[in-house]
Amino acid sequence: MAHDHDHEHGHDHSHQPHPFQPDLEETPLTHYQVMTQAVGDLLVEKGVFSAEELRAMVEAIDAKSQAAGARMVAHAWADPAFKARMLEDVNKAAEELDIDAGGIPIRAVENTEGVHNVIVCTLCSCYPRLLIGLPPDWYKSRSYRSRTVREPRQVLAEFGTTLPDDVEVRVHDSTADLRYMVLPARPAGTEGWDEEALAELVTRDCMIGVTLPKSPNA
Amino acid sequence: MSKQRNDETVLRRHHDMGGLPAGPVEQGEHDYAPWEKRVDAILRLLGDPKRRIITTDELRRGIEELGPGAYDEMSYYERWIASITNNLLEKGVITVDELGRRMAEISAAWPAGVEERKP
């Protein structure tokens, strides 16, 4: 909620009006926004978690982006031994770079000259969020979830990614227990680049597999 | 589509949509609203090693049980908070009375009120 009244806890909750932000208070709440506020408040009052923990978690979620994943990809491009370890076990390889990939196993699938990978979660929205941030809306949409497993080339084309016919497209359907990230192929023309510069080419969408990394000439 | 395809469709549950026909992928994105981040944070805390109150599978089970109509009408984080709340009620972490009372208080205190729910 934009008006965060977690700071009020610790005293009687029966209820002075909250200090509202004038621009927000003119907008009606939805039923589920009210539920969200109420459930969070009740859990704080019951001591399930503290208001500080809740606030810190929101901040941590906000801070996640594709940066951690991009750093891993760039390191894998620069260091073949690391790449091999990453393909073996993403979560463990992440630790080498002080990246927390979480407790759910993530598998990296490597794009090569002959193979292009793309990830989807047909059942819901499983996604390597600790490495590449919160999923975009379209990843959770009915159209992406339905069509990617049946007509991946058409879906990729909608993202502007047209692959030659002789490139095999592999679609990976994530689950609550196993997630995927795409390890894109290193773009030609980046010989001698340092990892920081390489990481700049690695977008969220190319780690989902709907696009290729940015062009080094762009 | 063939008859077999229709049969297959009937046997699926509504969340199981892989391979079904659908329109173009809408690539617009919205920034997550504060309340959506709060839902996400609540779940992350409830599932962390310190608490282990709701697992990812329990969240999903709750979402899949919403029924086809609700599933399609609700937004992503609406489905999440509905499932989280049902799980907390089932586990006795919060009660229906507490929840109802608190929601009524929050609604009454909000100057612009609460949107009517669709019937």
Q: Are residues A74 and A178 in the same domain?
A: yes
- Based on the residue annotation, tell me whether A141 is a catalytic residue of this protein: no
Quick one: average pLDDT of B91-107? 97
**Tens digit of each residue's pLDDT (9 = 90 or more) over A83-129:** 999 999 999 999 999 999 988 899 999 999 999 999 999 988 889 99
Number of structural domains chain B divides into: 1
CATH of the domain at B93: 1.10.472.20
Q: Give a yes or no: residue A157 inside a domain.
A: yes
pLDDT in tens, A163-207: 999 999 999 999 888 999 999 999 999 999 999 999 999 999 999
Question: Which of A41, A54, A137 lies closest to B102 in CB terms?
Answer: A41
Interface of A with B in 113-132 (CB under 8 A): 120, 122-125
Q: What is the distance between the alpha carbons of residues A178 and A87, in angstroms, rounded to a whole number?
A: 14
The reported pLDDT for the residue numbered A64 is 87
Residues near A140 by beta carbon (within 8 Å), at least 6 away in sequence: A124, A125, B76
Q: Is residue A115 part of a domain?
A: yes
Domain termination site, one of A10, A41, A63: A63
Indicate which CATH number applies to the domain containing A144.
Answer: 3.90.330.10
Q: Is residue A176 assigned to a domain? A: yes
Of residues B72, B51, B79, the one with CA closest to residue A35: B79
- Taking an 8 Å cut-off on Cβ atoms, the answer to whether B51 and A48 are in contact is yes
Residue A31, domain extent: 25-63
CA distance B99 to chain A (A): 7
The residue among A169, A122, A117 whose CA lies nearest residue A141 is A122
Q: Which of A63, A91, A113 lies at the terminal end of a domain, its last residue?
A: A63
A199 and A174 assigned to the same domain: yes
**Residue A1 placed within a domain:** no
- Count of CB atoms situated within 10 Å of the CB of A32: 22
Residues A88 and A126 in one domain: yes
Residue A206 annotated in active site: no
Asked if the structure places residue B60 within a domain, the reply is yes
- Which positions ≥6 away from B108 have C-beta within 8 Å? none
Model ipTM value? 0.87
- Domains identified in chain A, total number: 2
